[in-house]
Amino acid sequence: MISLRNILVNKISCKSIWFMRQAGRYLPEFRKIRKKNKNFIKLCLNSELSSEITLQPIKRFNLDSAIIFSDILMTPYALGQDITFKNNQGPKLSEFKMDVLIRNNKEDFSQKLSQVYKAIEITRKKLEKDKSLICFIGAPWTLLIYMLGLKKNNNSLDIDKYNKYKKQINKILKELNFYLCAHIENQINAGADVVQIFDSWAGLIPDKDIKDFCYIPNKRIVDFCKSKNIVSICFPKGLKKNYEVFNNFVKPDGINLDPDLDPLWARNKLKDVVLQGGLNPKILLKTNKDILETATKYVKAFKDIPYVFNLGHGLLPETDPVKVEMLINFYRNYNE
């Protein structure tokens, strides 16, 4: 088996499969742990349990890569914002204060996340050597959405709040860049070998601000990764045709597709990058026939080019693990 890192570095065409949010909420073995650990942040900071959760889908499905069980909001947590999770409401962060953000320092930030790094160390020792261990961060803009509460309940941008904070945004993004790069480096030093950068709310950025708030912040992080020989995958979800501009500007090693992108368009327009994902996770809630027909479309579209099979977003909580296993087996046994 060729590791994900090797595929991304050398642009190798071969079969490789993992899923975003493969460690977590859809697995009964995870729910058993979660039931006993109500505080999600504390669970992410429990290095032994975090490692155990990370390895659950590897033990169940023998996937080609593991992704550390953590959360993009561990960064604002370590920078001083309180975070609570409520059922069906998503995360809630305490009021953002610029003075709290700028009072932080790298040493304290890293110390607050030391158990995340410990979880990576534990996992790397237990994981087979030819499997990649993926770490991740939220891109600056996506973190800012949560930190400033810029997203309405219908997943649209709160324009009034956006305009209120507009003059501060660039300063906040630059501060976040510093700590995100530190978080990446710490995770890689602990044993991860690939980083995925989730810009999950890139699609909310007004067109006139996409370059300043998406392309440039992601490029800063990717350039940092390149300077440290760290392999990166970007996920600028919701950018539609701007995926092409993003890819040409940022130049990551890999780019994750979202379900809005036509796979043939992606194959033709996104060059010099390993493509990943695209399959709508909602497909896994449908019939086996629907799942296999849609998966076949992606496999055929990316035949003979560097492509990593994945989803266009994370596995949904209501996903049946049996269907996940069926999809994995289909992909591994597919021959045209």
Looking at domain 4-333, its CATH architecture is Alpha-Beta Barrel (3.20)
* Arithmetic mean of pLDDT over the chain: 97
pLDDT digits (tens, 9 = 90+) for 86-113: 776 779 999 999 999 999 999 999 999 9
Q: Please tell me the predicted confidence (pLDDT) of residue 85.
A: 84
How far apart CA 27 and CA 5 sit, in angstroms, is 26
Separation of alpha carbons 50 and 68, rounded Å: 7
- Whole-angstrom Cα distance, residue 272 to residue 179? 28
Q: How many CB atoms lie within 10 A of CB 327?
A: 23
Dihedrals phi, psi of 224, to nearest 5 degrees: -60, -45
Question: What is the residue extent of each domain of the chain?
Answer: 4-333
CB 115 within 8 A of CB 47: yes
To the question of pTM greater than 0.75 for the whole model, the response is yes
Q: For residues 58 and 69, is the Cβ–Cβ distance under 8 A? A: no
Tens of pLDDT, residues 156-198: 999 999 999 999 999 999 999 999 999 999 999 999 999 999 9
Q: Which H or E run includes 45?
A: none
Residues 203-222: what's their mean pLDDT?
A: 97
How far apart CA 276 and CA 178 sit, in angstroms, is 27
* Mean pLDDT in residue range 139-149: 97
Give the DSSP letter of residue 268.
H
Backbone dihedral region of 97: left (phi > 0), alpha (psi from -120 to 50 degrees) or beta? Answer: beta
**Would you tell me how many other CB atoms lie within 10 Å of the CB of residue 43?**
18
Share of the chain above pLDDT 70, in %: 99
Tens digit of pLDDT for each residue in 298-307?
999 999 999 9
What are the tens digits of pLDDT across the range 27-75?
Answer: 999 999 999 999 999 999 999 999 999 999 999 999 999 999 999 999 9
Is residue 43 within 8 A of residue 73, CB to CB? The reply is no
d(C-alpha 279, C-alpha 104), whole Å: 39
Q: What is the pLDDT of residues 228-274, one digit of tens each?
A: 999 999 999 999 999 999 999 999 999 999 999 999 999 999 999 99
**Residue 1 clears pLDDT 90, i.e. is over it:** no
pLDDT at 290: 98
| HSE of 250, CA atoms in CB hemisphere, 13 A | 34
